[in-house]
A and B are shown apart, each in its own frame.
Chain A
Amino acid sequence: MNKGLRLALNILIAVGVIYAILLIGPVASFDIPIIAGEIAKNPLQLVQYLIIGVANGAIFALIALGYTLVYGIIELINFAHGDVFMVGVFASLTVLSLTGTLNTTNPVHIILGLVLALILAIVICAVLNAAVERLAYRRLRNAPRLAPLISAIGMSFIIENIGLIWAGQSWLVPSFGTSGGAAQKNFPDLLGTMFTSLNLNQNLFTSSGIHLRITITGLIVIVLAGVFMLGLRFFIQSTTLGKAMRATAQNRDAAKMMGIDIDTVITATFLIGGGLAGAAGLMAGLYNNTAWWFMGFRAGLFAFTAAVLGGIGNIEGAMAGGFLIGIIASFSDGYLDARWTEGWVFAILVLILMFRPTGLFGEQVGEKA
């Protein structure tokens, strides 16, 4: 393991030990007989939690890719990445608001609004992420490891405060619906609205009494995330730039010797990671129906844990880790207590870093060169 990861690890372990003490509460709430009884009584509920977990997991996976891609190339943990995702949520909401999409039931209007929001969220987050690299990381590339890490945390604070100001601009992000307070904005489920206005049932499957509801929004989120992941895989495997990214990640000096412009590759990596976070932002808004300035912290923690779980730097691992964390979080929300979910995820992160820092799937093969 290299120095960068070890340093991050030590910081996290220190925080983690404190956190572990705080975790005595949730561990106590982990009452297996009660949970088992609940599952036996209502097995469909388990399926419901699983579906919610997969949909949220798809979103975490997209964000996790941004951590893993960047780490693979420059061995830096981009702590501002979760906040870039938050900007994706706000950018989407703003585009939908300014195009009047929030107040329409016209399906064509909704579709066009959503497509525009998706494109702009991707572009804005891609550019933001690349700008963060240019501004805060590039000139520290040869500095001691701690320097870019601190710089990353600083960027995280800056973007969170941009989010805070953004959330206060009601002409950009209107309080919508009933629960839209000052800090937390409601993000309407436009896909559900659209289906209802087409006289279609937005619930693909419902069963009353027992809680099972599969929504069109959940399905679209999962499918869209899958498309992005396959697209990324294809890009990395088969395009010239994708291959240059892999080469740079595997041996930077050799990549330079091949004539690869490292700066271009790094910028491309941040653009792609940011773009995926932007797409995830729109999906998360539509699926979870909230937007608030601090949401990047939670999403970032979950996605980073997913990336570490899958072996940081490992693209398929980040995808798998995303789904796994999504499902774990959903089960914790459902069967334990939503207030402890962050604690559980953090505990997983610390345990993985302590006992299996290369991730669940182990060392990547072929390092002997």
Chain B
Amino acid sequence: MLELKEVHTYYGNIHALKGISLRVEKGEIVTLIGSNGAGKSTTLRTIQGINRPRSGTVLLEGTALETLPPHEIARRGVAQSPEGRLIFPRMTVLENLEMGAYTRKDKTGIKDDLERVFTLFPRLKERIGQKGGTLSGGEQQMLAMARALMARPRILLLDEPSMGLSPILVELIFDTIVTINKEGTTILLVEQNALMALSIANRGYVIQTGEIILTDTAPNLKNNEMVRKSYLGIE
């Protein structure tokens, strides 16, 4: 469904992605793990068109995305819950969710999806009229994910959805990811919490300083010596 081939992305002179190749098949949860500054967020931003690859290609069901403007990429079914959440601080929870559905025209479908995200995150329903910027960190994280879901994306990119959340909320978020996936959304999941990510993912990639150094099924990665040492903190 989604395929990156030899993608190189730069920030000025900083060579952030040094030839990333990866693929996500329809219906999968694929996780991208790596330490700080490895290039995980840059990979997601490059897929979304916020950053431009200097070379290489990004294919969504065969269509090249790297030359399209970001709003066209969103229109083709790529949505993300970005690093730092990036919710609209002076818009209400409801308005934030409406913006998530910006590319859609099907009023009844949007209404159904609103109900759906409120079922997934009842907390957001309680806060429907509150300004996004006044939500707690965890609530903002839920909102960012719910907002991405409102696009009813073909592929959902999640950048550290468990960041800064209490253990119970982490549990909830991961359960939600599995639920969303079962309902038919393909997911590319970036996580610091590699153990959790690998426990729900089908496959995984390990990224280090802009390069993919390892890829395997999630169970195999979980048992991989190097992964256990470097990313799971298990000797």
Interface residues of A, Cβ cutoff 8 Å to B: 240, 243-244, 246-247, 250-251, 253-262, 364-369
Given known pairs A243-B99, A247-B99, A369-B140, the reply for A257 and B89 (CB within 8 Å) is no
The reply on B57 being an interface residue by CB < 8 A is no
Interface centre among A247, A253, A364, A366 (most CB of B within 10 A): A366
CB pair A257 B50 closer than 8 Å:
yes
CB pair B90 A246 closer than 8 Å:
yes
CB pair A257 B74 closer than 8 Å:
yes
Chain B residues near A250: list those with CB within 8 A. Answer: 88-91
CB pair B71 A365 closer than 8 Å:
no
The reply on B188 being an interface residue by CB < 8 A is no
Chain B residues near A246: list those with CB within 8 A. Answer: 88, 90-91
The reply on B69 being an interface residue by CB < 8 A is yes
The reply on B48 being an interface residue by CB < 8 A is yes
Q: Which residue of B lies closest to A253 (CB)?
A: B50
Given known pairs A247-B91, A369-B85, the reply for A257 and B131 (CB within 8 Å) is no
| Residues 65-117 (chain B) with a chain A CB within 8 angstroms | 69-71, 74-75, 79-80, 82, 85-91, 95, 98-100, 102-103
Tell me the minimal C-beta distance from B72 to chain A in angstroms: 8
| A261–B50 alpha-carbon span in the complex (Å) | 12
Tell me the minimal C-beta distance from A268 to chain B in angstroms: 14
Given known pairs A246-B90, A250-B88, the reply for A256 and B50 (CB within 8 Å) is yes
Chain A residues near B39: list those with CB within 8 A. Answer: none
The interface size bin for chain B is 20 to 34
Q: Which residue of A lies closest to B157 (CB)?
A: A257
The reply on B133 being an interface residue by CB < 8 A is yes
Tell me the minimal C-beta distance from B187 to chain A in angstroms: 16
Tell me the minimal C-beta distance from A234 to chain B in angstroms: 15
Chain A residues near B217: list those with CB within 8 A. Answer: none
Given known pairs A253-B50, A365-B134, A366-B134, the reply for A258 and B89 (CB within 8 Å) is no
| A203–B89 alpha-carbon span in the complex (Å) | 48
**24 A–B pairs (Cβ distance < 8 Å), ordered by A:** A243-B91, A244-B102, A247-B99, A253-B86, A254-B87, A256-B48, A257-B50, A257-B79, A258-B151, A259-B74, A259-B151, A260-B71, A261-B71, A262-B71, A365-B131, A366-B133, A366-B134, A368-B89, A368-B134, A369-B85, A369-B86, A369-B87, A369-B133, A369-B140
Given known pairs A247-B99, A251-B88, the reply for A259 and B133 (CB within 8 Å) is no
Q: Which residue of B lies closest to A261 (CB)?
A: B71
